[in-house]
């Protein structure tokens, strides 16, 4: 650590500079950064808040900085310090402005950039003087939510198709309002959701383990053994303190595809694009670790992630295969009772947890994903038994990667039918007030980010009829 600079801000700077300079992944950087591993829990929490908060609000932060800087900042390190400090000044509660400014100047000095100290100090103090004005001004929805136009349009198109009154689709203004709500939900901290591994202990025993560590949680009513961490546990703490293999970090939306597929003990399940394996392990729990799951992924190192998770969680029914499932059929015809096709996508439903995604996605990538996804279905459907079910899912909201793919597949395969899915809020009777999430195309479900404190997800269920 650099003398005089707090651990949390030094860690945040190093990770953010890697994200901005080298396109590093914030989630992986935070989890495996050596300084993070060694830092106290309080410093890890603040570093995480600064990293995610800065990236989530980057467009708005740059909008603010543009009002106080006359020329382009060419030193990425200096720009990173300005960005993370602006986030703290405008969004972080409980930290004095002077302390944030002082830490920024120390960071500049620690990098040997003495000539920039006065510049950084002046910009940040100018922001401090204008905080009330900045926080009261109205900016365009895309800027307020730090959402590139392509992504915001995808959100708006999705809600236009999701919500309707009677037979009338939403007006453009109504759709924009709902899209803003979903977009804004991606700009603040996302709670960790996990599920107990009931192959190793009961949910009561797992709850007791969390309570013994002082971890505060709320029960997620989607399924038994799902929890939202409210206080006292980050990923590093949970991994260190809770018994190995006793849980898996998994958003509630991500649990939905296996729950919709509903594999039974003794079934043969084909899990396409399975890494890192959280859905695979959930299906093993549903199957009481009885039957067979053929879990595939395209790279050896990703297949190893599945093997490692299975070993840690005590799952013995998984057979991993390194395959490009878009090119090679991975099982004999009629082998599988069910197939989970959780396919590669643009990831626009999970930008609250992986915020850098929204700044790099392109329309060309979205269209290419749709073609790849359809190719995967075309290649693997013969593996399914007649009468078997296939669940298609993505963590995005783009119609080109979701309902367009399903419609294209069904148009070519009259031997498949769409099976209506109960909405997310109806998956378990213990969930409270119902909300209509059913897509206007029968049976498909689109979840927008922020609904139910969950990530965005798309799910469709198909049955082979002959």
Q: How crowded is residue 321: how many other Cβ atoms within 10 Å of its Cβ?
A: 17
**Can you read off the two tokens belonging to residue 161?**
């198709």
Q: Are strands 168-169 and 164-165 parallel, antiparallel or unpaired?
A: antiparallel
Identify which of 340, 347, 166 has the alpha carbon closest to the alpha carbon of residue 256. Answer: 340
395 is catalytic: yes
Long-range contacts of 71-78 (CB under 8 A, 24+ apart): 75/113, 75/116, 76/17, 76/20, 76/21, 77/13, 77/17, 77/111, 77/113, 78/108, 78/113, 78/116, 78/119, 78/120
The angle that helices 76-91 and 117-129 make with each other, rounded to 10 degrees, is 20
Provide the residue count of the chain: 466
Identify which of 11, 97, 96 has the alpha carbon closest to the alpha carbon of residue 54. Answer: 11
> Measured between alpha carbons, how far is 390 from 376 in angstroms, rounded to an integer?
12
First-residue to last-residue Cα distance in the chain: 64
Catalytic-labelled residue, pool 101, 273, 338, 395: 395
Lay out the sheet containing 226-231: strands in order across: 216-219, 226-231, 193-196, 247-249
Catalytic residue set: 395
């Amino acid at each position: 650590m650099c003398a005089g600079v707090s651990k949390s801000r030094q860690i945040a700077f190093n990770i953010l500079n890697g994200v901005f300079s080298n396109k590093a992944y914030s989630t992986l950087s935070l989890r495996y950064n050596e300084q993070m591993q060694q830092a106290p829990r309080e410093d890890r929490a603040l570093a995480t808040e600064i990293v995610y908060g800065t990236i989530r609000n980057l467009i708005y932060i740059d909008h603010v900085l543009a009002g106080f800087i006359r020329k382009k900042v060419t030193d990425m390190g200096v720009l990173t310090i300005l960005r993370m400090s602006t986030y703290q000044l405008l969004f972080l509660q409980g930290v004095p402005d002077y302390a944030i400014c002082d830490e920024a100047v120390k960071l500049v000095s620690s990098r040997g950039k003495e000539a920039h100290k006065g510049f950084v100090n002046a910009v940040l103090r100018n922001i401090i003087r204008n905080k009330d004005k900045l926080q009261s001004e109205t900016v365009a929805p895309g800027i307020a939510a730090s959402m590139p136009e392509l992504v915001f349009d995808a959100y708006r198109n999705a809600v236009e198709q999701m919500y309707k009154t009677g037979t009338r689709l939403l007006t453009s203004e109504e759709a924009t309002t709902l899209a803003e709500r979903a977009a804004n939900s991606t700009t603040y901290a996302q709670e960790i959701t996990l599920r107990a591994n009931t192959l190793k202990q009961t949910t009561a025993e797992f709850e007791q383990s969390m309570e013994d560590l002082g971890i505060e949680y709320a029960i997620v009513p989607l399924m038994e053994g799902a929890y939202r961490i409210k206080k006292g546990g980050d990923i590093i703490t949970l991994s260190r303190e809770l018994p190995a293999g006793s849980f898996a970090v998994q958003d509630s939306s991500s649990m939905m595809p296996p729950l919709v597929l509903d594999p039974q003990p003794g079934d043969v399940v084909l899990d396409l694009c399975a890494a890192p394996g959280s859905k695979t392990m959930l299906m093993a729990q549903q199957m009481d670790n009885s039957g067979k799951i053929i879990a595939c992924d395209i790279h050896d190192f990703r297949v190893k992630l599945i093997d490692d998770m299975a070993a840690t969680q005590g799952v013995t029914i998984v057979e991993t295969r390194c395959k490009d499932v878009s090119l090679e059929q991975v099982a004999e015809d009629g082998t599988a009772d069910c197939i989970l096709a959780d396919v590669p996508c643009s990831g626009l439903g999970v930008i609250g947890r992986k915020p850098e995604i929204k700044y790099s996605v392109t329309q060309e990538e979205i269209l290419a994903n749709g073609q790849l996804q359809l190719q995967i279905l075309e290649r693997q459907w013969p593996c399914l038994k007649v009468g078997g079910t296939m669940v298609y899912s993505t963590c995005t909201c783009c119609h080109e990667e979701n309902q367009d793919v399903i419609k294209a597949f069904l148009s070519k395969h009259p031997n498949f039918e769409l099976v209506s899915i109960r909405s997310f809020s109806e998956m378990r009777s213990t969930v409270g007030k119902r909300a209509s999430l059913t897509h206007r195309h029968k049976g498909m479900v689109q979840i927008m980010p922020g609904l139910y404190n969950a990530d965005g997800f798309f799910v469709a269920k198909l049955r082979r009829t002959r």
